[in-house]
Amino acid sequence: MTAPFKSSADRRGGVYEITPSVTIEAPPAAVWARLVDVESWWVDSNPEHESLEVLTDPPVLAEGTRLRVHERIAGVPGVAEGAVTGFVPEERVTWEAPRARYRLFGLPVTVSEGVSWELEPADEGTTLTARVWASFPAGPLGRLVEWGFDHLLDGVERDYAHAMRELRYLKGQLEA
């Protein structure tokens, strides 16, 4: 039997990536249908989520769909506007925001970030993995921001917990 939750984290200077996973007792088609209906679950899935706006018409998640999200990561408020850059039905949807804006210790910081939700059939249903990444600005200020985010705020660990809340929410919704 597969463990219901898996995790990993990778840190490289200026970039971090986390890959939390959850196994959901539902077929990939059901997980996919809920996942791509992002307006119905994303804000409610995490208390750090403030709002989500679909900026394209029609407001259907597909390659090229633009989204704006207001949220907190590790308590740091931000706005990320980006687009769906990958869309393979029942397999993967990727959203990237190359110029997300946050306020860390009162300083405006721009980071590049994204998430790729990946589905894989499992004996128990579907494994859903959220591959989340962010890259800090280059140069001395970027290194200082990265250090503060990682060491003062435990930002990578808190972002991992943030993503796990979303996955557990989806698991609970689909298994209810």
Q: DSSP 3-state assignment of 138?
A: coil
- pLDDT tens, 104-114? 888 899 999 99
| 12 belongs to a structural domain | no
| 19 belongs to a structural domain | no
Q: What is the pLDDT of residue 2?
A: 35
| 153 belongs to a structural domain | yes
> What is this structure's pTM?
0.89
Detail the DSSP E strand segments found in the chain: 5-6, 9-12, 15-18, 21-24, 49-54, 66-73, 76-88, 92-104, 107-122, 125-135
- pLDDT tens, 86-109? 999 999 999 999 999 999 888 899
Tell how far CA 158 is from the center of its chain: 12
| 3 belongs to a structural domain | no
| Mean pLDDT computed over 151-156 | 92
Q: What is the CATH number of the domain that holds 91?
A: 3.30.530.20
The whole-angstrom separation of Cα 95 and Cα 40 is 17
Residue 136 per-residue DSSP state: P
> How many separate domains does the chain show?
1
Count of C-beta atoms within a 10 Å radius of residue 55: 12
The whole-angstrom separation of Cα 93 and Cα 174 is 18
| 133 belongs to a structural domain | yes
Residue 76 pLDDT class (50, 70, 90 cuts): very high
| 139 belongs to a structural domain | yes
| 5 belongs to a structural domain | no
- pLDDT tens, 15-67? 889 999 999 999 999 999 999 999 999 999 999 999 999 999 988 899 999 99
Q: DSSP 3-state assignment of 62?
A: coil
Task: Give me the domain span that covers residue 56.
Answer: 27-175
| 46 belongs to a structural domain | yes
The whole-angstrom separation of Cα 32 and Cα 174 is 11
